[in-house]
Amino acid sequence: MPNIGPFELSVLAVIVIALLGVGLAAVRAGARPAGPLAWRSPGLLPPVSADLQHRVRELYADNKKIEAIKLIREQTGLGLKEAKDLAEALASGRPLPVAPGHARPDLASRVRELKAAGRGEQAVFLVRGETGMGQSEAERFVDAIDAVDAEGGEG
């Protein structure tokens, strides 16, 4: 075993203290480790697949609410309250929740924006993800928005 003198011990102590200080500062600042939600803006939900939405509805129908919430947490990385709110919204057919002050435009408006930007496939994907519709249903929805706009509807 090598001899460790007082200088080496003091350097080691300073390093350990510095690392602890950085860790405490990160905890106080509310920092979270990188993971499924590292990209997410506060108040916005991560993508919720149609399969996950369907499975959550099934679990709620079978009175397995805790399992539904756990499934959401595992697949999205959401916290307990966010996952519970999402599970309840999905089970009751309500729109997916967003945090106060983070209201977003309705689905049709977001579809119009994507289509105007030449991103029609993403518009269909958005509709599928938020409604649980199949591919052909979502495509008809997106096409119907174009038809309403052409007839002088919203837009």
Q: Is residue 154 part of a domain?
A: no
Whether residue 126 sits in one domain with residue 98: no
Whether residue 122 sits in one domain with residue 98: no
Which comes out higher in pLDDT, residue 67 or 125?
67
State which residues form the domain around 89.
46-102
Tokens of 20: 């602890």
Q: Is residue 119 part of a domain?
A: yes
Nearest to 112 by CA among 133, 102, 126, 129: 126
Whether residue 80 sits in one domain with residue 55: yes
**Residue 53 near residue 92, CB atoms below 8 Å:** no
**Residue 142 near residue 124, CB atoms below 8 Å:** yes
pLDDT band at 64 (very low <50, low <70, confident <90, very high): very high
pLDDT in tens, 93-137: 776 665 555 556 778 888 888 888 788 888 888 888 888 888 999
SS3 8: helix
Q: Is residue 77 part of a domain?
A: yes
Q: Is residue 82 part of a domain?
A: yes
Lowest-pLDDT choice from 21-35, 45-59, 71-85, 132-146 = 21-35
Could you give the percent of the chain with pLDDT greater than 90?
Answer: 12
Which pLDDT does position 34 carry in this prediction?
44
pLDDT in tens, 70-105: 999 998 888 898 889 888 888 877 766 655 555 567
SS3 118: coil
The helix (run of H) or strand (run of E) holding residue 90 is helix 80-92
- CA–chain centroid gap for 123, Å, is 18
Tokens of 51: 């399969």
Could you give the percent of the chain with pLDDT greater than 70?
Answer: 70
The amino acid sitting at 97 is P
Show which of 64, 81, 102 is a domain's final residue.
102
- Is the pTM higher than 0.85? The answer reads no
**Residue 32 near residue 82, CB atoms below 8 Å:** no
pLDDT at 50 over 70: yes
Q: Give the span between the Cα atoms of 43 and 134, in whole angstroms.
A: 27
